[in-house]
Structure 1
Amino acid sequence: MAPLIDRFETVFEKFNLFVAICVAGSIALFATLVPLDFFLRKMGLHGLEWLNEGAEYGLYAGVFLSSAWVLYKGAHVRVDIVLTAIPAWLSARLERAVDLFGALLCLSMAYFGANGTMSSYIFGTLPDKDLQIPNWVVLAVFTASFIMLAIEFLLRFRRAGRPDHKVTTDIGF
């Protein structure tokens, strides 16, 4: 039987893949709805007035929520010039230190996001837009994404400590 942390890592990886697929689906949906909206307006019918703001919210949520999957895949912007210029044992230690720092930074961002989320929920703030999604929902996405990033940084820290560790760059599904 696999240790609990291995099972958690597997479930977390599948969850991140599910989120990435949902984000890809939302982008495909908006790519379909934009020409439909254009067609409806040109035909003199009511368009999808909410579409522009809906796409803004969708892209915001998609970018933040899929960031842990991007980090897992190694598809984020990364500069390895320092890691290749130093000895391998030091490179591995530096990579683990950066992963730990990333986790701590993400946890602090999640803390501040949670504070903002709670304040927004208590005060019931709404944006000045046609499509009014409460601000606490938007901030909750921010908070959840940084918690997910912190988890992924900690899992990277764990994986980097293994002797069979290889940096993954298999971008895509």
Structure 2
Amino acid sequence: MRLIGILGGYACLGLSFLIVFEILARKLFNFSLQGVDEIGGYVVAVAGTFGMALAAVERAHTRIDVLLLRLPFKMQAALNLLAYVALGLGAAFMAYMSWQTLSESLLFNSVSSSPLQTPLWIPQSLWVAGLVVFAIAALWSACRGVFALRNGLEAASRALAPPSIAEEIEEARK
């Protein structure tokens, strides 16, 4: 899963270089590559969906810790589990709707309305794949939390709660 994050980072880095080249080419040589903004949208959409999957597995999704940490431990465990179930169901719904979008693009042989005329099934397939992986990762995390809950609240907290400062420091040392 970490490899997906690394690939997404390199894709965003490559996009940054492409944008810088586009800006310099326009300013200095009055030349444009045409479609860099379109490619950028595809890269962000695909990297974002796979990034959300990585965040689900690593318990890195944003939560309101100020409120959460003030609640009783049992309530924290229940809310963390509820958060992952809601995240997984929301991701599954997004994956389903993205599949509907991809199906229509395939049915009508849709292409982008830019100079690139990109067949939309290509970026949409990657987008759907990312959303499916995100849904699976979030639902798997919820299941992992349910299984951990059988071993007690401490195990459920380790499986579902946001990483503590100590865990983040330990991860940074690796």
Tell me the TM-score normalised to structure 2 length.
0.74
Higher percent of residues as helix: 2
Q: Deviations over 1:25-59 (max 9, x none)?
A: 11221222333334444553744233232222212
Any conservation in 1 of the 2:88–2:138 contact (CA below 8 Å)? yes
Aligned alpha-carbon RMSD (Å): 2.7
Residue from 26, 29, 33 that aligns with 1:48: 33
Q: Pick one of 132, 153, 164 that aligns with 1:147.
A: 132
**Could you tell me the percent identity over the aligned residues?**
20
Instruction: Tell me the equivalent position of 2:47.
Output: 62
CA contact (8 A) 1:54 1:131 kept: no
| Distance (Å, rounded) in 1 between the aligned partners of 2:70 and 2:124 | 40
Q: Whole-Å Cα distance in 2 between the matches of residues 113 and 39 of structure 1?
A: 35
**How many residues align structurally?**
158
d(CA) in 2 for partners of 1:149, 1:168: 18
Q: State the partner residue of 1:7.
A: none
Residue 89 of structure 2 aligns with an amino acid whose one-letter code is L
1:132 aligns with 2:117: yes
Mark the CA change 1:85 to 1:111 in structure 2 (over 3 Å): closer, same or farther: same
Is 1:118 the counterpart of 2:79? The answer is: no
- Relative to the length of structure 1, the TM-score reads 0.74
Q: Partners in 2 of 1:87 and 1:106 — Cα distance?
A: 28
- Mark the CA change 1:90 to 1:121 in structure 2 (over 3 Å): closer, same or farther: same
TM-aligned CA distance change 1:44 to 1:103, over 3 Å: closer
**Does the CA contact (< 8 Å) of 2:99 and 2:128 recur in 1?**
yes
1:63-102 counterparts in 2 under 5 A?
63-102=48-87
Q: Which amino acid aligns with 1:19?
A: I
Distance 1:42 1:107 in 2: 44
